[in-house]
Amino acid sequence: MKFTCLSKGGGFHFPPCHMLSVSGFRILLDCPLDLSSLAIFSPVPIALEAHESLDTDSVVRKKQKIEKTLDANDLVFAEPWYKTVKSLHLWDASFIDVILISSPMGMLGLPFLTRTKDFSAKIYVTEAAARIGQLMMEDLVSMHMELRQFYGPEDSAFLQWMRWEGLEVLPSELKKIILGTDCEELGAWMPLYSAVDVKDCMRKVQTLKYAEEACYNGTLVIKAFSSGLEIGTCNWTINGPKRNIAYISSSIFVSTHAMDFNFLGLQGNDLIIFSDFSTLDTTENMENDNTYCDPVTSSNASDDLYNLEEIAASLLKDDESMEEMEKLAFICTCAFDSVRASGSVLVPIDRLGIVLCLLEQMSLLLESSSLKVPIYIISSVAEELLAFTNIIPEWLCKQRQEKLFSGEPLFAHVKLIKERKIHVFPAVHSVELLTNWQEPCVVFCPHWSLRLGPVVHLLRYWCSDPNSLLILESGDDANLALLPFKPMAMKVLQCSFLSGISLQKVQPLLKALQPKLLLFPKDLRCKIQISEANTIIHYSENETLCMPSSKESTEIDIATDLASQFHWKTLKQETVTRLDGELFMDQGKHRLLSGFRQADSKQHRPLLHWGSPDLKRLLTELSKMGITGTLKKIMDSAESKNAAGIIDIDDPEKALIDVRETGTVIITADENLASHIFKAMDIVLDGI
């Protein structure tokens, strides 16, 4: 088995990506896009008139400004390209056998692979994640086409910014995003796929329910288990002939909307790949805030929690989800203060679960006041996405499922849309929106990068209003994201949301799963000490690790009629038997079934012999067949215990049988004579 971490990702919107080779198959784990890199491009034309071509004078001027504070004119003025996983373009897509997608964000880069020549991999994703991911890709294409109208069709100057002379004059901050720290990431940039590419990609996807088995090529049994991060997100188990593997992506034990993290479904696997880097992001933020505590060791998790039920109870405490709800309540309070001051609120958050919960809480807060403030949702896929979230109870948490049995809608937006307290529109320029528009208001719209979609127009419209509020998700460079809209009088609230397993729960989780081998990020090694696995291997980006199989032998299921034919013989220290049948690989297991036998006596001859032949007995058997010869015994220093000898055959043809301790050699030019000698050997030697 081989494992390569292609990318550790960058938070919720850019999950990690790995390549795994097991049982002769190459498996890609997630295929995301780094949409935070869109920050290098200028959105709708803020300084297009002032944009300078790359003539000599402008190059000199930009070189003089290169180390100064960034301003809007330093951004790239071109139709955006999109950054894929930096090392993925170096792999031949036709050699990938299986792709496992853990979240809707993890499938945004799939069309880049599926549109390549000779792509034939099987793509597995949960039903809910597939639908949400498809809508996200379609919305991305729609927003990109709108932005493209401002830059016009492609021409010879389109890739001017990617030429070396263009990169040389860019500020170092932008150059680092484009090229990476070692200047190896330029090849990861690609023009966006089309709507046709998205449809073609979805035709190649096989959807699964939670815990549903999918068998690939009769060898690998693949299952998805809920991770709790979002609706439809999952962790994977891969069971093969030589190893059982569990892949843990970013997970949340108790969710306010999605089905909880089913970590018990990951038990019984000898290898765990831990790929939740959110704990690293959390600790880095804690260090920046001077609130970071000492690394977690085995003593931080109670040593008394060896009982699985106690461990599960400690992991499934809803303290984190309660803290998340309090955070959402604080956001709603800040939004209420803004609209009460006659300002509007702009929410470009793309986390589906967070948006749905914010809609509920914000609507209740506004309804309890005397303010009549409309809530707008603007997106090309908003109507379809909101309708989808109300027909998927099996993918939601227990509290949401209980609403179904009580006759209530799964989410409050259904009722609020009917009461016209929430208004859904496909575009910011739609006639219906312009007709119903009123301020102050609350607007939910894409995109969180602040480079695409309705947020660009609305942010340009409200950025000078000190009473208005922009709610951003922390983690990305807010200064670079807001650069095109400065100077800004608008208030900005940055919020961080739960994105994975908290640092304190990693140790109890691994104690509950008890893997024999753990693959753990090297970047987290100094943050937490793991002592529950028999063996721990730390991995880092672009490093290939080779691991031996955990099973020394292969198990095989044998048909009952064949098992009744066992005739055991002892070979050295092993007992062996011979069976005639057909070998199959099915559901990751070897199976031996009865096959059709040919009426040929050769099929019943021993296929394996062992031991040294008794020369006198061999000579007797040959004479019975009409073969005459003489026995010549020899002895040398290397053969002091076991006698060796030569049988010299002179009739019916010349032949020689040379028996030594290390082996027996039969020499003859006559095929018929050789066949008779072999039959005599069958009689003298043990065989199966």
Asked if residue 660 belongs to a domain, the reply is: yes
Angle between helices 195-203 and 127-151 (to 10 degrees): 160
- Domain residue limits at 650: 609-687
What number is the average pLDDT over the span 305-325?
78
Do 459 and 338 share a structural domain? yes
Asked if pLDDT for residue 584 goes beyond 80, the answer is no
Tokens of 669: 């030019």
DSSP 396-459: B-HHHHHHHHTT--SSTHHHHHHTTSEEEES-TT-HHHHHH--SS-EEE-S-TTSSSSHHHHHH
The 10s digit of each residue's pLDDT in 187-244 is 899 999 999 999 999 999 999 999 999 999 988 999 999 999 999 999 999 998 888 9
Tokens of 334: 């800040």
Compute the chain's Rg from CA coordinates.
34
Backbone dihedral angles phi then psi of residue 316, each to the nearest 5 degrees:
-95, 15
Residue type, 9: G
Buried/exposed 355-374: b ≥16 CB within 10 Å, e otherwise: bbbbbbbbbebbeeeeeebb
Tell me what percent of the residues of the chain surpass a pLDDT of 70.
83
Lowest mean pLDDT among 19-23, 71-75, 422-426, 598-602: 598-602
Kindly list the distances between the CA atom of residue 492 and the CA atoms of 12, 456, 471, in Å, as whole numbers in the listed order: 20, 15, 6
Domain count, the chain: 3
CA–CA separation, 477 and 454 (whole Å) = 20
Asked if residue 638 belongs to a domain, the reply is: yes
Asked if residue 32 belongs to a domain, the reply is: no
Tokens of 368: 């309890």
The 10s digit of each residue's pLDDT in 380-418 is 999 999 999 999 999 999 999 998 888 888 999 999 999
Do 617 and 480 share a structural domain? no
What number is the average pLDDT over the span 624-632?
79
The 10s digit of each residue's pLDDT in 262-301 is 999 999 899 999 999 887 655 444 444 433 334 444 444 4
Asked if residue 541 belongs to a domain, the reply is: no
Asked if residue 55 belongs to a domain, the reply is: no
In contact, 245 and 518? CB cutoff 8 Å? no
Do 355 and 328 share a structural domain? yes
Do 588 and 627 share a structural domain? no
Among candidates 340, 325, 361, 337, which has minimal Cα distance to 444?
A: 361
CA–CA separation, 35 and 348 (whole Å) = 14
Do 578 and 443 share a structural domain? no
pLDDT on residue 635: 57
Residues, the chain, total?
688
Residue where a domain terminates, one of 569, 594, 619: 594
Do 566 and 456 share a structural domain? no
Instruction: Quote helix, strand, coil % in the chain, to nearest 5.
Output: 35, 20, 40
366: helix, coil or strand?
helix
Asked if residue 547 belongs to a domain, the reply is: no
pLDDT on residue 55: 44
Do 649 and 567 share a structural domain? no
Q: Rounded to two decimals, what is the model's pTM? A: 0.81
pLDDT on residue 48: 41
Do 328 and 403 share a structural domain? yes
CA–CA separation, 389 and 499 (whole Å) = 20
Q: Is 191 left (phi over 0), alpha (psi -120 to 50) or beta?
A: beta
Do 471 and 365 share a structural domain? yes
Angle between helices 319-340 and 352-368 (to 10 degrees): 50
Q: Count Cβ atoms below 10 Å from residue 644 Cβ, excluding itself.
A: 18
The 10s digit of each residue's pLDDT in 20-75 is 999 889 999 999 999 999 999 988 654 444 444 444 444 444 444 445 678 888 88
pLDDT on residue 191: 92
Dihedral over Cα of 162, 168, 171, 176: its sign? positive
Find the CATH number of the domain harbouring 473.
3.40.50.10890
Do 326 and 469 share a structural domain? yes
Question: What's the mean per-residue pLDDT of the chain?
Answer: 83
Residue where a domain terminates, one of 440, 468, 494: 494
Asked if pLDDT for residue 631 goes beyond 70, the answer is yes
The 10s digit of each residue's pLDDT in 443-486 is 999 999 999 999 999 999 999 999 999 999 987 688 899 999 98
Residues 6 or more apart whose CB falls under 8 angstroms from that of 444 comprise 347, 348, 349, 355, 358, 359, 375, 376, 377, 378
Q: Count Cβ atoms below 10 Å from residue 446 Cβ, excluding itself.
A: 22
Residues 6 or more apart whose CB falls under 8 angstroms from that of 302 comprise 314
Q: Which residue has the higher pLDDT, 471 or 668?
A: 471
Asked if pLDDT for residue 678 goes beyond 60, the answer is yes
Confidence of residue 605 (pLDDT cuts 50, 70, 90): low
pLDDT on residue 126: 98
Do 452 and 324 share a structural domain? yes
Asked if residue 487 belongs to a domain, the reply is: yes
Do 488 and 397 share a structural domain? yes
Asked if residue 19 belongs to a domain, the reply is: no
Lowest mean pLDDT among 91-95, 207-211, 326-330, 668-672: 668-672
